Amino acid sequence: MTAGRENPLIRTPYGAVRGRWDQGVAVFRGIPYAAPPFGPRRFRPPAPPEPWDGVRDAGAFGPTAPKPPYSEAFAQYLSDPVVPGDDCLNLNVWTPEPSPGARLPVLVWVHGGALTRGSSAVPVYDGRTFARDGVVFVSVNYRLGVEGYGLFPDAPANPGLRDQLAALRWVHESITAFGGDPGRVTLGGQSAGAISTGALIAAPQAQGLVRRAVLQSGPPEVTDRDKVRRMVRRMANRLKIPATAEAFAAADREHLLRAQAEVGRLSSPVLGGPSFGIVVDGDLVPRDPLEALTDGAAPGVDLLTGWTRDEYRLWLVPGGLLERVDRLGAVALAGAMARCRCGSEVPRGYRALRPDAGTADLVGQMVTDHLLRLPLHRLSDARTEPTYVYEFAWPSNRPGMGACHALELGFVFDSGDEPDARKLAGEGAPQDLADAMHGAWVRFVSDGSPGWERWGPHHPVRVFGDGEPHIVRGPRDRELALWTAPSTPTDGDPPASAPELRSVIRRLRRSGALRRN
């Protein structure tokens, strides 16, 4: 509490909440924006919270959504706090001026974690630094894994995404009292949070709720419904129950989480496999968000988007997978071709551009470009609204991690002093880089321009962490052009049989795509 000041009190549409002062910033944690999604509400769209009498204490983070823990290999790099309790549809607000007259810009943050992990309580997501710089910051919890993205014949799809929409509506109705301007809301997220942001700005039901958007290391996309159904069926087989919402709701919650972790252990952007994801549902997500956005959905929404230089290293380095992919050589590269549905001319082109790269680096960059950079390029090219693109290039001080997925978060939030940020960045992360990145995000949220030229025909990309921040024109254009060559198949089923795989390997060896050791 700041000396001489009472803890701040705000009245929301559902009741009063009392927060705390933290270094000149008013913080309200654990405010419910929807009712607990359990009992008769399980696997159902979010319902409004029950109003309360008196003053609700908002001094601590609320419960987190049910989720399995990270494996030991990933837990050494990523933190994922657990707060027990059923009232997990809650949010937090940091504000420098909790007054209706302030009318400050607002950033609503959707956390990442592959839609199966993460929460607003992750220490790196401390909103105090944004509030310190004049932004009202809101972070949101939402349902994860099978609770939020399971696909059942007897329940609506995408309840986790519907939670996020409910939180956005809460912000639109309530944020004025906290000092925010509901007409200046930026929705942003990283990884799965960026994928969710893309789906929401494309959703007809969210129109008018968002003025700007940030997509960090995640493109607008949907997951094939059969892929999600396979995840649910495999869980059902392990649990020996029907693959219905009714049966899953009756199952023990811890048993569900264990089954989910076991079935999903091989799911990753590089490996593929069954996974949870946003699906086209004919309602909240009437069509593929990328297609909708390239066709002009989200008119008037400014966009900031980007990626890290070595996204794939977070997926491959923990657990020694990078070395195993290198040892697999042709088999790994053939698997990447199947995953990306491309011919041998694509890895051959990457080998020509990266003659010294190992197989794992080649596979990682191919998959990253196919799944992430290519759709973000396509989206940026199609938009008429102001769009800005960046690349984060500073390599972690942790061995082998490079400029990996999620590394930029400690710099965006200027939270590098947090022990949890150092788990991924190591010791000695440069403060001037945090000042540059955080400042760019604050400027974008505040007035729509992060401080460099908008996307255009020459593809200007702001590079952070490779010397002083600077513009490079088309740094990924040569690689991404390989995917649009006429001879590159872009759809159809990937090779599946052993003879087909052997044929792909022979083509790879003949083409020179494999590094000669």
Tell me which of 111, 172, 405, 438 is the catalytic residue.
405
Among the listed residues 215, 193, 145, the one whose alpha carbon sits nearest the alpha carbon of residue 388:
215
Tell me which of 191, 196, 380, 415 is the catalytic residue.
191
467 φ, ψ (degrees, to nearest 5): 80, -160
Other CB atoms within a 10 A radius of the CB of residue 453 amount to 12
Helix (H) or strand (E) holding 472: strand 467-473
Q: What dihedral angle (degrees, nearest 10) is formed by the CA atoms of 195, 200, 203, 207?
A: -150
Give the whole-angstrom CA distance, residue 55 versus residue 19. Answer: 10
Tell me which of 120, 172, 275, 311 is the catalytic residue.
311
Give the whole-angstrom CA distance, residue 212 versus residue 446. Answer: 10
Give the whole-angstrom CA distance, residue 247 versus residue 154. Answer: 10
The dihedral built from the CA positions of residue 477, 387, 106 and 200, taken in this order, carries a sign that is: negative
Encoded tokens for 127: 């909103």
Encoded tokens for 301: 């929404």
- Whether the Cβ atoms of residue 260 and residue 145 lie closer than 8 Å to each other: yes
Residue 510's contacts (CB-CB under 8 Å, 6 or more residues apart) are none
- Catalytic residue flag (residue 405): yes
Give the whole-angstrom CA distance, residue 201 versus residue 66. Answer: 26
- Catalytic residue flag (residue 191): yes
Helix (H) or strand (E) holding 193: helix 192-202
- Whether the Cβ atoms of residue 311 and residue 406 lie closer than 8 Å to each other: no
The dihedral built from the CA positions of residue 43, 44, 48 and 54, taken in this order, carries a sign that is: negative
- Whether the Cβ atoms of residue 217 and residue 306 lie closer than 8 Å to each other: yes
Encoded tokens for 206: 């969210």
Among the listed residues 316, 326, 327, the one whose alpha carbon sits nearest the alpha carbon of residue 367:
316
Catalytic residue IDs: 191, 311, 405
